[in-house]
Structure 1
Amino acid sequence: MFKQDLTSDELLRIIFKYMAKIASERNLNEVLVLMADMGREMILSDRCTVWLIDRVSEQIYTKVAHGVDEIRIPLGTGLVGSSIATGENIIIKDAYNDPRHNADNDRKTGYVTKSIITVPFRNNDGEIIGAYQAINKLTEVDYFTDRDLEILSLAASYAGKSLESVMLHQEIIDTQREIIFTMGEIGEIRSTETGNHVKRVAEYSYVLARALGLSSAEAEMLRTASPMHDIGKVAIPDAVLNKPGKLTPAEYEIIKSHTKIGYQLLKGSKRDLLRTAAIVAEQHHEKWDGTGYPLGRKGEEIHIYGRITAVADVFDALSAERVYKPAWPLEKIENLLREERGRHFDPAIIDVFFEQLPKLLEIRKRLTDDKVDNE
């Protein structure tokens, strides 16, 4: 059944609804989703895509296209590339009669593109940073009109300016993440481990956090902070840190001190990210039954971030060859985690671990290195 074009009042309600959400959102992908949903609702299209320019790779890409995954194409190609390059709006009634339409994606997905509208959007300096592209009008008149162009141009004008501030915020977050990963790798390099260890622990922690019901923001915070869990190792002498044999009681106390050292390094920050990293650094060796260190916290006295990182860290540590042990086979790791459920580890996290194990193994394979057992 065909839809009817929206009235002015209906358009205003959609605009106010989405503008309020976009203005308060700081996650780039979430903003792109909101922009795509707003565009689709405003002009009654079947799909709406938000494209951005990647100047480094000289490509345009979308992570938010209704019905498809990320798409990347060379800058200047296709209808959307033409619109971005020229700064011109484009309306096509029949895509297959226009030589600029790239039909490869239709052939891959089986989707039939008929009508298209493309509107570039600009930042506060007037520079084009991307474009809206909507596909297939859902009204009785099955193509986009000048009225649709006016409506989508209005959405693009506001959303483009809002998007710029979110992109700048995302750039800061990405820079912080890169610094944290680099600092986390320092501890691993000193203990002759690979940098992929901290990357794997970060990805495992994110998967477990989301499966436990933590919000996307909380899970992302943990993913970004968890690579710092062993940063305190920078202060541990090499002779102790890389000793191949069994540690003496005194040496073990020195090793244990990396949790307090990491916490002291990070705790004074005013940044949520580094305060989270301080929690993880201090608490990832605490145990559910209270026998861990440095403070012997028990059960939910241990922060959820510490409890999650503990499972992620042990899983990866056992999977990899270390100076003091060979890599464990997967079955042996599974048996230990089951045995330590309710002792070392939070039972709920172990249950989620086994539910999510296929995802975790995919991550391990993707971020593997020569020391990881991929059995």
Structure 2
Amino acid sequence: MHQNFNEPHSYKLDLSPEQMLKVIFEYTAKIANEKKLESVLVLMANMGREMVVADRCTVWLIDNTRSELFTVVAHGVGEIRIPFGSGLVGSSISMGQPIFIDDAYEDPRHNPDNDRKTGYRTKSIMTIPFRNNQGEVIGAYQAINKLTEKQVFSTQDMDYLSLAASYSGKSLESIMLHDEIIETQKEIILAMGKIGEGRSKETGNHVKRVAHYSYLLALGLGMSESEADMLRNASPMHDIGKVAIPDSILQKPGKLTDDEFEQMKQHSDIGFRLLRNSKRQLLQAAAIVALQHHEKWDGSGYPQALKGEEIHIYGRITALADVFDALGSSRIYKSAWALDRILALIADERGRHFDPKVVDVFFEQLPRILEVRDREADIPEID
């Protein structure tokens, strides 16, 4: 049952990062396994509504033959058709740009006719166009009435709904054309990996570099192109469990206490739990990486103290790629190490922290790894 904004009601809270991830993974898994267009559109609307805590979420599509926009899914409402270019959604689609307003009745583009017919009071609106794989706008998400105490949508809401819109537009086209949607899944994994890293104030391109390093190491170890590419696309999720670690620990400039370090170590298990239930091969690989990238060859790592080849090869590869990049990057608690010092540590940890075979391949691939490091270097922030 939806809330009537003309009557008193209790407010809701925005989703935490961990809740947001659960919503995304729940719905993207369902969408990926759904073949019926109508069912996919219902899932899209439900996903958008939950992500931004809206009362309603409508999926609009373009009917080119009739030069109209129409809703295939509108929570609480049947199909609605409007002339192409009219209303807020028409303006957003025509411009190819998001629009959000705090009070629809103060914007001349809003048509209140449907409110008068239904008795519903539209207040805050956020509209996000979505595109197909060729970059053409094919429809839009429209979220209506924010249910939190502020009752208005934020730029963060726009970022989250834009992520859903990106997935939805490409998924929609894929469903219609019976194509694979794996490329979109990769984009979501990279985007969510960046959210995990961003909370700990880590370097902007860290997940991208670790992905490239992992790919090169996998190829050097003799993996097929397809499996190496899968690891490249799974590895950005290695630290996704950090979304549930307190900021006081993630952003602490000094050394962590023993208790704080025990809390930090939980991110491996948390990341695994977030990903483990997916039936998609890519997310299963990401779950392994999230769980095992802090294991060590000699058994002294965490969370399971696995030893040697008990550790999945994905975990052994990502462990080295992650450490190499982390040591070479400035963090809130340390300065970047010089390259010679990093290479000396990796050589010294051969057979202790790292799989000897992975270390050997690392040094074989070092020229290409350094090319990636230079190409994807972080741009220093200017205060």
Matched-pair contact (CA < 8 Å) for 1:263–1:281:
yes
Partners of 1:321 and 1:371 within 8 A in 2:
no
- Give the corresponding residue for 2:201: 192
- Aligned residue in 1 for 2:253: 244
1: distance between equivalents of 2:319 and 2:373? 17
Alignment match, 1:293: 302
- Does structure 1 residue 361 correspond to structure 2 residue 376? no
- Return the TM-score normalized by structure 2: 0.53
- What CA deviation, in whole Å up to 9, does each residue of 1:64-120 have, x standing for no partner? xxxxxxxxxxxxxxxxxxxxxxxxxxxxxxxxxxxxxxxxxxxxxxxxxxxxxxxxx
Following the alignment from structure 2 to structure 1, what is the Cα–Cα distance between the partners of residues 266 and 282? 22
Q: Tell me the residue number matched to 2:135.
A: none
Whole-angstrom CA distance in 2 between matches of 1:266 and 1:329: 35
Asked whether 1:284 is paired with 2:285, we answer no
Whether the 8 Å contact between 2:204 and 2:378 is mirrored in structure 1 is no
Counterpart of 1:258, as a letter, is H
Deviation at 1:371, TM superposition (A): 5.5
Count, aligned residues? 209
In structure 2, the CA distance between the partners of 1:290 and 1:176, relative to structure 1 (3 Å rule), is: same
Q: 1:288 to 1:371 in 2, by over 3 A?
A: farther
For 2:288, give the aligned amino acid: I
Indicate the percent of aligned positions where both proteins have the same amino acid.
68
User: 1:169, CA displacement in angstroms?
Assistant: 7.7
Specify whether residues 169 and 176 from structure 1 end up closer, same or farther in structure 2 by C-alpha distance, changes over 3 A only: farther
Q: Is 2:235 the counterpart of 1:226? A: yes
Aligned match of 1:182: 191
Question: How do residues 1-80 of structure 1 correspond to structure 2 at under 5 angstroms?
Answer: none
Match of 1:342 among 351, 364, 368: 351
- Measure the CA separation in 1 of the matches of 2:178 and 2:363: 35
Q: Is the 8 A contact 1:283 1:303 kept in 2?
A: yes
**Matched residue, 1:71:** none
1:22 counterpart residue number: none
* Alignment partner, residue 217 of structure 1: 226
Instruction: Measure, in 1, the Cα distance between the counterparts of 2:360 and 2:179.
Output: 33
Provide the residue aligned with 1:322 in structure 2: 331
> What's 1:158 paired with?
none
Aligned to 2:210: 201
**What CA distance in whole angstroms lies between the structure 1 residues aligned with 2:350 and 2:179?**
38
Contact 1:185 1:194 in 2 (8 A): no
- Name the counterpart of 1:149: none
d(CA) in 2 for partners of 1:268 and 1:175? 19
3-state secondary structure, aligned to 1:370: coil
Of the candidates 266, 274, 278, which is equivalent to residue 265 of structure 1? 274
Residue 245 of structure 1 aligns to a residue whose secondary structure is coil
C-alpha change, 1:332 and 1:277, in structure 2 (3 Å) is: same
* 1:111-136 per-position Cα deviation (integer Å, ceiling 9, x unaligned): xxxxxxxxxxxxxxxxxxxxxxxxxx
| 1:305 aligned onto 2:291 | no
Aligned letter for 2:340?
E
Q: How large is the Cα RMSD of the aligned pairs?
A: 2.1
In structure 2, the CA distance between the partners of 1:285 and 1:371, relative to structure 1 (3 Å rule), is farther
The answer (yes or no) to whether the contact 1:189–1:195 under 8 Å persists in 2 is yes
Name the CA shift for 1:191/1:300 in 2 (closer, same or farther; >3 Å).
same
Letter aligned with residue 200 of structure 1: R
1:217 Cα deviation (Å)? Answer: 1.2
Do the aligned residues in 2 keep the contact of 1:180 with 1:225 (CA within 8 Å)? yes
Change (3 A) 1:170 1:191: farther
State whether residues 203 and 330 of structure 2, in contact with CA within 8 Å, keep that contact through their aligned partners in structure 1: no
Q: Is the 8 A contact 1:209 1:219 kept in 2?
A: yes
- State the secondary structure of the residue aligned to 2:314: helix
The structure with the largest alpha-carbon Rg is 1
Shift of residue 195, structure 1, vs aligned partner = 3.1
Which portions of structure 1, spanning 4 or more consecutive aligned residues, are displaced by more than 4 angstroms? 168-171
C-alpha distance in 1 between matches for 2:369 and 2:185:
25
Q: TM-score, normalised by structure 1?
A: 0.54
Evaluate the alpha carbon distance shift between residue 353 and residue 257 of structure 1 in structure 2; reply closer, same or farther with a 3 A threshold. Answer: same
Q: Is the 8 A contact 2:207 2:236 kept in 1?
A: yes
Distance 1:171 1:329, change over 3 A: farther
Amino acid at match of 1:254: Q
Structure 1 residues 354 and 236, CA gap change in structure 2 (3 angstroms): same
